[in-house]
Amino acid sequence: MNANLQPARSTASHLFSIPVIVAALGYFVDIYDLLLFGIVRIPSLVSLGLSEEAVSSVGASILNWQMTGLLLGGILWGVLGDKKGRLSVLFGSILTYSLANIACGFVQDAETYKILRFIAGVGLAGELGAGITLVSEILPKELRAIGTSLVAGIGLLGAVVAYFTVEFFDWRNAYFIGGGLGIALLLMRIGVFESGIFAQVKEQKHVQKGNFFALFTNKDRLIRYLKCIGMGLPTWFVIGILATFSNEFGKALGLEEAIKPGLAIMWCYVGLSAGDLSSGLISHALKSRKKAVFIFMLFTFIVSVIYLYGGISTAKQLYLSAGFLGLGIGYWAMFVTIGAEQFGTNLRATAATTIPNMVRGAASVMIILFAYFKESFSVANSGALVGLICFVIGFYSILTIQETHDRDMDFLEE
């Protein structure tokens, strides 16, 4: 009997170890802070004295600065993660965005706000990739899918907490709360240990570590990298277009009740959290990353068609669809895990940290395309055209990329 119980205890001890818990809580705070500006954008800028027209233009500018910070931060923290260690990124990134968020609570003008959101974006870029890399390297390979899904599933609930925090607190206090959560998490991380796989490679002085440009100097490596980015595009099509502009889609559908994009995004993230938890279990059961991601991507495609052309007639139906869309893109954890598993230890953090931030950055291109298509097509058709591009690239990428379910993580990129 004891022999039968031992594996269960052993599995639980792996999945609920301090590094996994702290990585999950770290991603929770990361998502809270990442989405906070989008939620408080209007009230914060209005309180700074901006006109309605300025709120729109300045808000978009600040958001672009934050996204630029994410792109640059992804490269910075990825390189540092491979050169200095996974933990150095986890500590450095959270300290950066926590202090930036606390400072946002004191901001008095739009220009300072812009700079602080850029710094916050740089900090926010390091959390997920470093956390997934660390968890992937310390867990047994048969538990990696479940472990990384736990990290993402719990972490994504930060979006829900951010939404309700703003409902009950002033926007400045919401920033203070986010910064305080980050500092508290920083103290928790003191007891977390470094990945043993990285520690071994760190001692090998002759191995080149964290060379971002090495991702582009080898054809096979470049194709792997681009496919990892490609499979993630449908996730931010859903968040960046369908959820963010849900008010426009609701108006185009003739809905009587005005749609709140913040609420649509929140329901999307509720579904996303549930999807991330279930995608890991499905990947584990199927013993395949590719099959799990394909199933979720196909589900997302079907719900996207229903969202755009299924005859949604009430706000509740649209919010419900946003939740199902979130469930569909719940392969986010698997997508980042595949990115970590595709590359050797000396480039793993660089790849795993830049890949999700490249996808986030691609949302800016999607928004530009969406605006361009709206000049000639309806809102629904414009969204569909952007989605078609993302899904074609996404399906091609997941169908042709290498399976990594049983891959040993202890290898190097030449």
Most confident among 85-94, 176-185, 297-306 (mean pLDDT): 297-306
Most confident among 78-87, 144-153, 193-202, 303-312 (mean pLDDT): 303-312
d(CA 174, CA 41): 12
| Phi-psi group of 311: left, alpha or beta (phi > 0 → left; psi -120 to 50 → alpha; rest → beta) | left
Segment 314-367, tens digit of pLDDT: 999 999 999 999 999 999 888 888 988 898 878 888 888 889 888 988 888 898
Question: pLDDT band for position 300 (50/70/90)?
Answer: very high
What is the reported pTM?
0.81
Residue 309 lies in a domain: yes
Here the CATH number for the domain that contains residue 230 is: 1.20.1250.20
Query: What is the SS3 assignment for 377?
Result: coil
In contact, 118 and 158? CB cutoff 8 Å: no
pLDDT for res 399? 96
Pick the residue with more confidence: 148 or 297?
297
Residue 332 lies in a domain: yes
pLDDT higher than 70, residue 276: yes
pLDDT higher than 70, residue 47: yes
Residue 8 lies in a domain: no
Q: By residue range, what is the domain housing residue 73?
A: 17-189+212-400
d(CA 295, CA 285): 13
Residue 319 lies in a domain: yes
Q: Where are the alpha helices (DSSP H) in 139-260?
A: 144-155, 158-168, 171-188, 196-202, 219-237, 246-252
Virtual torsion, Cα 133, 137, 138, 140, nearest 10 deg? 130
Angstrom CA distances, 71 to 115, 126, 134, 205, stand at: 15, 10, 21, 29
pLDDT for res 383? 95
Residue 165 lies in a domain: yes
Mean per-residue pLDDT over the chain, rounded: 85
Structural domains counted in the chain: 1
Residue 105 lies in a domain: yes
Most confident among 60-64, 92-96, 170-174 (mean pLDDT): 170-174
Of 362, 155, 391, which Cα lies nearest the Cα of 296?
391
pLDDT higher than 80, residue 414: no
Average pLDDT over residues 366-380: 91
Residue 274 lies in a domain: yes
Residue 93 lies in a domain: yes
